[in-house]
């Protein structure tokens, strides 16, 4: 059997965390509409998802920094080499994904919970979720591109 090295363990955790961050958002988006019929269930499911989502996001950030060093990319490369610029674009997408998810979870969702049941849900709520997952999917693509260089 081939040996397992520590950079591979870090990358493995990075990929597992990406699966939770992206896969969790896709899954929650798929089931939330079904849960809206039951009183408080959609909100409770959303809150439970946060319990796994933010640790996964933190794990992505920590393992991402270690991946960067393991891949031999210096922070001074960010604007200077094509790999560095790809990582910079990826970091922009990661920031966008985190910011959109945070706005959705901590500002919009609590406001939506306070509204009357008959009030239509603002389209911005779904849009922020879509923005977060799309940015994360594109960040994953750039990660694969960096890995392939």
Applying CB under 6 A, the residues found at the interface with ligand HEM are 11, 14-15, 18, 21-22, 60-61, 64-65, 67-68, 70-71, 73, 87, 91, 94, 97, 136, 139-140, 143-144, 146-147
C-alpha 24: how far from chain center: 9
- Number of Cβ within a 10 Å radius of residue 53: 20
Element housing 137 (H / E) = helix 123-147
- Number of Cβ within a 10 Å radius of residue 46: 19
Judge whether 103 and 53 are in contact, CB under 8 Å: no
C-alpha 100: how far from chain center: 9
């Amino acid at each position: 059997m081939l040996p397992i090295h520590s950079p591979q363990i870090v990358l493995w955790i990075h990929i597992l965390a990406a699966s939770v961050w992206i896969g969790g958002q896709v899954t929650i988006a798929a089931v939330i509409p079904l849960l809206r019929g039951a009183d408080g269930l959609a909100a409770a499911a959303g809150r439970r998802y946060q319990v796994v989502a933010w640790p996964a996001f933190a794990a992505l950030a920590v393992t991402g920094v270690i991946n960067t060093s393991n891949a031999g990319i210096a922070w001074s490369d960010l604007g200077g080499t094509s790999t560095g610029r790809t990582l910079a674009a990826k970091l922009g997408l990661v920031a966008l994904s985190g910011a959109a998810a945070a706005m959705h979870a901590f500002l919009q969702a609590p406001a939506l919970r306070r509204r009357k049941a008959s009030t239509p849900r603002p389209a911005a709520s779904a849009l922020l979720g879509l923005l977060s997952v799309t940015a994360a999917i594109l960040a994953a693509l750039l990660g694969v591109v960096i890995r392939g260089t």
